[in-house]
A and B are shown apart, each in its own frame.
Chain A
Amino acid sequence: MVEVFLETVADLWQESAFCNITLPQGIMLLISFVLMYLAIVKGYEPMLLLPIAFGMALTNIPGAELYHPEFFLTTNVDYGQVLHDGGLLDIIYLGVKLQLFPPLIFLGIGCMTDFGPLIANPKSFFLGAAAQGGIFITFLGACALSATGIVDFSLKQAASIAIIGGADGPTAIYLTSKLAPEMLGSIAVAAYSYMALVPVIQPPIMRALTTKKERLVKMGQLRQVTKREKIIFPIAVTVIVSFLVPSATPLVGMLMLGNLFKESGVVERLVKTASNELMNIVTIMLGVTVGATATAANFLSVRTIMIIVLGLIAFCIGTACGVLLGKLMYVLSGGKINPLIGSAGVSAVPMAARVSQKVGQEENPSNFLLMHAMGPNVAGVIGSAVAAGVLLAIFG
Chain B
Amino acid sequence: MNYMDMFNFMALCAGDSVLLTPSDDGYWGLVISTVITGIAVVFLVLAILIALLYLMGAILGRKKKSPEPVRTEVPVVQPASETVEEVCEDDGEVIAVISAAIAAYGEAEGKQYRITGVKRRDKAQRSGWSTAGVIENTRGF
Give residues in A with beta carbon < 8 Å to B: 118-119, 122-123, 125-126, 128-129, 132-133, 135-137, 139-140, 143, 146-147, 154-156, 159, 218, 220-226, 228-229, 232-233, 236-237, 240-241, 244-245, 365-366, 368, 371, 379, 382-383, 386-387, 390-391, 393-395
Q: Which residue of B lies closest to A146 (CB)?
A: B22
Task: List A contacts of B34 (CB < 8 A).
Answer: 136, 139, 155, 159, 391, 394
Q: Once the chains are docked, how many angstroms separate the CA of A240 from the CA of B48?
A: 8
Known contacts: A139-B34, A154-B19. The answer to whether A129 contacts B42 by CB under 8 A is yes
Task: List A contacts of B49 (CB < 8 A).
Answer: 122, 125, 236-237, 240-241, 382
Contact A155 B61 (CB under 8 A): no
Tally the A-B contacts, defined by beta carbons under 8 Å: 139
Contact A232 B46 (CB under 8 A): no
Q: Which residue of A lies closest to B53 (CB)?
A: A122
| Residue B39 interfacial (CB < 8 Å) | yes
Within 8 A of A (CB), among B26-50: 27-28, 30-32, 34-35, 37-39, 41-50
Q: Once the chains are docked, how many angstroms separate the CA of A139 from the CA of B14?
A: 15
Most buried by A among B21, B34, B72: B34
Among B30, B50, B63, contact of A223 (Cβ-Cβ < 8 Å): B63
Q: Once the chains are docked, how many angstroms separate the CA of A391 from the CA of B54?
A: 29
Q: Which residue of B lies closest to A122 (CB)?
A: B53
Q: Once the chains are docked, how many angstroms separate the CA of A155 from the CA of B49?
A: 30
Contact A155 B45 (CB under 8 A): no
Most buried by B among A122, A223, A368, A394: A394
Contact B52 A143 (CB under 8 A): no
Contact A232 B56 (CB under 8 A): yes
Contact B10 A133 (CB under 8 A): no
Contact A390 B37 (CB under 8 A): yes
Among B20, B22, B57, B108, contact of A221 (Cβ-Cβ < 8 Å): B108
Interface size of B as a range:
35 or more
Task: List A contacts of B66 (CB < 8 A).
Answer: 220-221
Q: Once the chains are docked, how many angstroms separate the CA of A386 from the CA of B21?
A: 26
Within 8 A of A (CB), among B83-131: 104, 107-109
Known contacts: A129-B46, A393-B11. The answer to whether A156 contacts B61 by CB under 8 A is no
Contact B38 A125 (CB under 8 A): no
Among B30, B38, B47, B107, contact of A155 (Cβ-Cβ < 8 Å): B30
Among B11, B32, B35, B56, contact of A229 (Cβ-Cβ < 8 Å): B56
A161 to chain B, nearest CB (A): 13
Known contacts: A155-B20, A240-B49, A395-B18. The answer to whether A245 contacts B60 by CB under 8 A is no
Q: Once the chains are docked, how many angstroms separate the CA of A365 from the CA of B75?
A: 11
Task: List B contacts of A118 (CB < 8 A).
Answer: 53
Among B11, B27, B44, B104, contact of A394 (Cβ-Cβ < 8 Å): B11
B10 to chain A, nearest CB (A): 6
Contact A143 B61 (CB under 8 A): no
B36 to chain A, nearest CB (A): 8
Task: List B contacts of A365 (CB < 8 A).
Answer: 74
Contact A387 B42 (CB under 8 A): yes
Q: Once the chains are docked, how many angstroms separate the CA of A220 from the CA of B47?
A: 22
Q: Once the chains are docked, how many angstroms separate the CA of A386 from the CA of B22?
A: 27
Most buried by B among A129, A135, A140: A129
Contact B42 A366 (CB under 8 A): no
Can you report 19 A-B residue pairs in the complex whose CB atoms are below 8 A from each other? A119-B53, A139-B34, A140-B35, A146-B21, A154-B18, A156-B18, A224-B64, A225-B61, A229-B60, A237-B52, A366-B72, A383-B42, A386-B46, A387-B38, A390-B38, A390-B42, A391-B38, A393-B7, A395-B14
